[in-house]
Chain A
Amino acid sequence: AQSVTQLGSHVSVSEGALVLLRCNYSSSVPPYLFWYVQYPNQGLQLLLKYTSAATLVKGINGFEAEFKKSETSFHLTKPSAHMSDAAEYFCAVSEFTGNQFYFGTGTSLTVIP
Chain B
Amino acid sequence: GAVVSQHPSRVICKSGTSVKIECRSLDFQATTMFWYRQFPKQSLMLMATSNEGSKATYEQGVEKDKFLINHASLTLSTLTVTSAHPEDSSFYICSAGIGGQSEAFFGQGTRLTVV
Taking Cβ atoms with an 8 Å cutoff, the residues of A that contact B are 32, 34, 36, 41-44, 46, 49, 51, 90, 94, 96, 98-106
Instruction: Report yes or no: A32 in contact with B111, Cβ–Cβ below 8 A.
Output: no
Q: Which residues of B contact A34 (CB under 8 A)?
A: 103
Q: How far is the CA of A43 from the CA of B107 in the complex (A)?
A: 6
Q: How far is the CA of A99 from the CA of B111 in the complex (A)?
A: 23
Closest to B100 in A: A97
Rounded to whole Å, the gap between the CB of A51 and the closest CB of chain B is 5
Known: A98-B97, A101-B104. 5 other contacts (CB 8 A): A42-B108, A90-B43, A94-B102, A102-B46, A105-B42
Closest to B42 in A: A105
Q: How far is the CA of A101 from the CA of B36 in the complex (A)?
A: 10
User: Could you list 5 examples of A-B contacts with CB < 8 Å?
Assistant: A43-B107, A49-B102, A96-B102, A99-B97, A104-B43
Instruction: Report yes or no: B96 in contact with A100, Cβ–Cβ below 8 A.
Output: no
Instruction: Report yes or no: B43 in contact with A99, Cβ–Cβ below 8 A.
Output: no
Q: Which residues of A contact B67 (CB under 8 A)?
A: none
